[in-house]
Amino acid sequence: MTELKKQEYNRYGDEWKKYIEATTIDFDSKILLLGTTIRKLETESEEKEVDLKILKKQIFEMREYLQQNMEQLGATFIKDGTIKISIQNNPPSIEINDLTIVPDLYLKAKMDVPLGKVPSNLFSYIKETLVDKSMLLKLYKDGGKLPEGVTFSQKKHLQITRVFQSGNA
């Protein structure tokens, strides 16, 4: 990437955070301003259709900053006439902390068995064991207790979308 392109896509540098924090406008206006800037940068990166590492890093940092500040203040949804910013839950997931203590009931076996040779004792063909996370997630959703070594997690993500006003779609 040429030095000119690096400068062009790093035009906000680290100054955006200082500007947002120093601006005396209300919280919602700050969030909307930053959200609009992020959408503009994302649109630019999509239109250029090139891997712009600096721009993507900047977008990531802005999104992370925006989400952290919204969560700290308990804001989950902000909207004006052009943009909507919300924090949404990701799908629930299962984290395996210690595979060695997960009961066999929740493990799958990955095997390499020749078609013409299916022995009665298949365990000698096991290459690795995998956790059946969908089964554990169903157990959790049904109110069951997760086994030791397994925890439930549900993360959040920031959603920034353009708002189409009637007649502008």
pLDDT of residue 63: 92
What is d(CA 98, CA 168) in angstroms, rounded to the nearest whole number? 53
pLDDT of residue 2: 37
Element (DSSP H or E) covering residue 35: helix 27-48
What average pLDDT score do residues 125-153 get?
86
Which of 101, 99, 65, 102 shows the shortest CA–CA distance to 85? 65
Structure tokens at 126: 């096991």
What average pLDDT score do residues 56-62 get?
86
What is d(CA 76, CA 81) in angstroms, rounded to the nearest whole number? 17
pLDDT of residue 115: 46
Residues with Cβ < 8 Å from 70, sequence gap 6 or more? Answer: 31, 76, 78, 85, 87, 158
Query: What's the mean per-residue pLDDT of the chain?
Result: 79
pLDDT of residue 67: 93
Residue pLDDT, tens place only, 95-115? 999 988 989 888 887 766 544
What average pLDDT score do residues 158-165 get?
81
Answer whether residue 3 shows pLDDT above 80.
Answer: no
Q: Which residue has the higher pLDDT, 100 or 168?
A: 100
What average pLDDT score do residues 112-133 get?
64
